[in-house]
Structure 1
Amino acid sequence: MSKKRGYHHGNLRQALVEAALQLIEVRGPTGFTLSEAAKQAGVTPAAVYRHFEGREDLIAEAARQGYEIFADVIDYAYQKGQPSALAAFEATGRAYLAFARKYPGHYIAMFESGISVNRTPELAAESRRAWEVLERAAHDLSQHIPPDKRPPASMFSAHIWALSHGVVELFARNSPGRQSPFPPEDLLETGIGIYLRGLGLIEEDR
């Protein structure tokens, strides 16, 4: 189906989002104009303003859709890892890496565009839903730590999110000048392993 046909069927808003995602992948979140997004979608620039006030609003919608997919992906990983709290927790980290690879345009809109997750209530809600999955996985696993040594679930999940994000940014998205001698999956798995050993959640290697 052509982009113009999608517009005539009333799908202009989504056609613009998909056009923006393609441009974001190639040029980054600030490397295109609304007029270029309109051209990519096969409509006139004036038509864009029926749905978006500016480029930032368009990117925010791309980010919202990204968080929606992301939340579904990590929730699926979490559920698949059950009933093992450890397997579920590790699965959410791997799901982060898989999402960044499969949905690079969404990932950039979410994490590299400078758009606040609080720009719209809908974006904030989807972002929070994703965070809550990570917190739930961290909370389940943290129950195996003595209460006096147990970090807050929000801190626990923030550490793993930061570790996953770092691996993605440095080694999984072909950052110029940065190459690892190890696959990103191995870096993430060993990093999480070191972190969990420090908390006493998995045994030391013999």
Structure 2
Amino acid sequence: MPKKRGYHHGNLKQALIDAALVLIEQKSPQGFTLSEAAKTAGVTPAAVYRHFSGRDDLIIEVARQGYEIFADLMEFAYNKGQPSALAAFEATGRAYLAFARKHPGHYMAMFESGISKNASPELALAEARASGILEKAATELSQHIPEDKRPPAAMFSAHIWAMSHGVVELYTRGPARSPFDPEDLLESGIGVYLRGLGLIKPDA
């Protein structure tokens, strides 16, 4: 049983966030109590309130950190794909899968907790940074579409975001529901979408 360290924990706030990540993966974002987070972190329940007013407040901070990690990963993928607008755009889609696979607790807090992205100004800012990178990639790629046929960049990026999210759900929630490799499934789906917009040539 973890030793109770009360207020003397070296980094209590981060210890509680790390504990929440473990519990989110085990029980879902709404499946644990603040007392359980305290126990997992090895501190007293009363110590939790030094940093968080309740479980939702803790989940908000987990989600905020998740969006910061997500944005960093998306930005790295985007820059790696340059100078090709197409390569940069496709790379950001693959980065979504990589993030969900490597950071499942953060992913669940961000997208499956029921917490609004506007639950705090800091969370809203982090989410906007992450979504802004994909929208920037979509904007650059959509410049190759005639203006009268060009979808809004926000819609363009939302389509890819939704497709990526769907692939994650097929592969990370219980047994895989598709026999295809997730990266291949996403790549082919993006290919179909981009062909429909005339951004890549049809297969010979």
Shorter-chain TM-score above 0.5: yes
User: Map of 1:40-59 to 2, 5 A cutoff?
Assistant: 40-59=40-59
User: Map of 1:142-181 to 2, 5 A cutoff?
Assistant: 142-171=142-171, 173=172, 175-176=173-174, 178-181=176-179
Unaligned runs of 5+ in 2: none
Question: Which residue identity is paired with 1:45?
Answer: P
Deviation at 1:10, TM superposition (A): 3.7
Question: Which residue identity is paired with 1:196?
Answer: L
CA displacement, residues 84-120 of structure 1 (integer Å, 9 cap, x when unaligned): 0000000000000000000000000000000011010
Could you tell me the percent identity over the aligned residues?
A: 75
Tell me what 1:182 maps to.
180
1:21·1:62 contact (CA, 8 Å) conserved in 2? yes
1:123 aligns with 2:119: no
Q: Which of 189, 200, 203 is equivalent to 1:202?
A: 200
Q: Number of matched residues? A: 203
2:195·2:201 contact (CA, 8 Å) conserved in 1? yes
Tell me what 1:85 maps to.
85
Tell me what 1:133 maps to.
133
Unaligned runs of 5+ in 1: none
Question: Which residue identity is paired with 2:68?
Answer: E
CA displacement, residues 42-100 of structure 1 (integer Å, 9 cap, x when unaligned): 10000001110100000000000000000010011000000000000000000000000
Tell me what 1:62 maps to.
62
Deviation at 1:200, TM superposition (A): 0.3
2: distance between equivalents of 1:34 and 1:72? 29
2: distance between equivalents of 1:14 and 1:76? 25
2:25·2:105 contact (CA, 8 Å) conserved in 1? yes
Tell me what 1:105 maps to.
105
1:3·1:41 contact (CA, 8 Å) conserved in 2? no
CA RMSD of aligned residues (A): 1.7
Distance change >3 Å, CA 53–CA 142, structure 1 → 2: same
2: distance between equivalents of 1:9 and 1:31? 25
Deviation at 1:176, TM superposition (A): 3.5
1:21·1:106 contact (CA, 8 Å) conserved in 2? yes
